Amino acid sequence: MSSLSIPPPACLLRPLEVPHRYLFGPGPSNVSPRVQASGARQMIGHLHREMLEIMDDIKKGIQYAFQTQNNMTIAISGSGHTAMECALFNTVEPGDSVLIAVNGIWGERASEIADRIGARVNTIVKPPGGYFTNDEIEQALCEHKPVLFFLTHGESSSGVVHPLDGIGELCHNQNCLFLVDSVASLGGSPIVMDKQGIDVLYAASQKVLSSPPGTAPISFSEGACKKIFNRKTKPVSFLLDMSWLANYWGCDGKPARMYHHTGPISGLFSLRESLAALSEMGLEKSWTQHNRTAEHLHKGLESLGLKLFVQEKSLRLPTITTIAVPPGYDWREIIAYIMKHHDIEISGGLGPSSGMVLRIGLMGYNCNQANADMVLMALRDALKHCHKSKV
């Protein structure tokens, strides 16, 4: 007889069950067999020489994916939000003025994080589907004199890919750092960090990189490092403090790498493998692949009588397509039908785009015409069988 009052949970005495799903929503994406296999390798120590070499390889892979020579380039232990917090916690001090472009949920989230730091948060706002002209951005920079400007490259909630050219220069003219979220766009839509004058860029493992969630590439320019390493106050997060992380990732020039936290070793194995896959394919080929697949999908959607949410072609995010919810249908029923009958995940809107759109993501390992055709077939079936009210 056990002396314990809480018995082992019966559910845990049954084997783990994970259904097969086609993940054609805004993320995570399906993981390729080679990335899966790399994540299943046996553990090594987080500070073993071989692990440090794997981290160095990851750093080079991120420099390639971001197109940057920044030495301060690492992978954060955590999801895209963790990288977002790392970027803001390190570059912004209480009382600093920041400017945030809000054209979907990610600007809203960045504002929330900056507000928690005690920054003076100023926003420029557009409805979902909108974007900002360089003139509008310049005007707001002159008005608010921020230390940092936040912009989302791939707005996964609205399906907009934001133009980036010229904005870095506008920021630098105003002595302001340029922070860009590329979680939903990296590898699927062109972004060239150094050429575009981006000071802080972050992404996440689970979209085009098609790794499991839990690691998040991030890079800081020299200008950003100057701000970070001349702060008057310590960042509120110890875990995300770049002066510690710089040492853990061998970016501070010191010979010894100190224990800071235990990194997600299996996640880093997977991330290395997906960066290897991207390097083998080549960034430009990956951009083309995402563009071609998106165009094929868009044509198919239009031939089903569906309306793309983003009108202007050049603003359509190739990784995640948004469709206006078809009149007369309940978007929840469509999603549920496709999941039940086709084992395919697609999703509804998020934050300000909630109830307005359906979202289809074909990223990385999932990005090909056969998958686009599969989701088109499922949608055709759903439109035939889901309830349609008179409009």
Instruction: Catalog residues that contact ligand PMP under the rule CB under 6 A.
Output: 26-27, 79-81, 106, 152, 154, 156, 181, 183-184, 204, 213
Is the previous residue joined to 264 through a cis bond, with omega within 30 degrees of 0? no
Minimum Å gap between C-beta 27 and ligand PMP is 5
Alpha-carbon distance 201 to 337, whole Å? 37
Residue count (the chain)? 391
Edge-to-edge, what's the strand order for the sheet holding 357-361? Answer: 320-324, 357-361, 347-348
For the record, the structure tokens of 261 come out as 């936290």
Alpha-carbon distance 318 to 370, whole Å? 16
CB-closest chain residue to ligand PMP:
80
Minimum Å gap between C-beta 74 and ligand PMP is 16
When the beta carbons of 326 and 352 are compared against ligand PMP, the nearer one is 352
Residues 4, 326 contacting (CB under 8 angstroms)? no
Minimum Å gap between C-beta 103 and ligand PMP is 11
Alpha-carbon distance 268 to 300, whole Å? 37
When the beta carbons of 118 and 213 are compared against ligand PMP, the nearer one is 213
Minimum Å gap between C-beta 208 and ligand PMP is 11
When the beta carbons of 156 and 189 are compared against ligand PMP, the nearer one is 156
Residues 162, 357 contacting (CB under 8 angstroms)? no
Residues 227, 92 contacting (CB under 8 angstroms)? no
When the beta carbons of 346 and 386 are compared against ligand PMP, the nearer one is 346
Alpha-carbon distance 182 to 195, whole Å? 15
When the beta carbons of 86 and 382 are compared against ligand PMP, the nearer one is 86
Alpha helices in 48-133 (DSSP H): 49-66, 80-91, 105-117
| Backbone φ and ψ of 318, nearest 5° | -70, -25
Alpha-carbon distance 102 to 123, whole Å? 7
Minimum Å gap between C-beta 347 and ligand PMP is 10
When the beta carbons of 183 and 193 are compared against ligand PMP, the nearer one is 183
Minimum Å gap between C-beta 36 and ligand PMP is 19
When the beta carbons of 78 and 326 are compared against ligand PMP, the nearer one is 78
Minimum Å gap between C-beta 183 and ligand PMP is 4
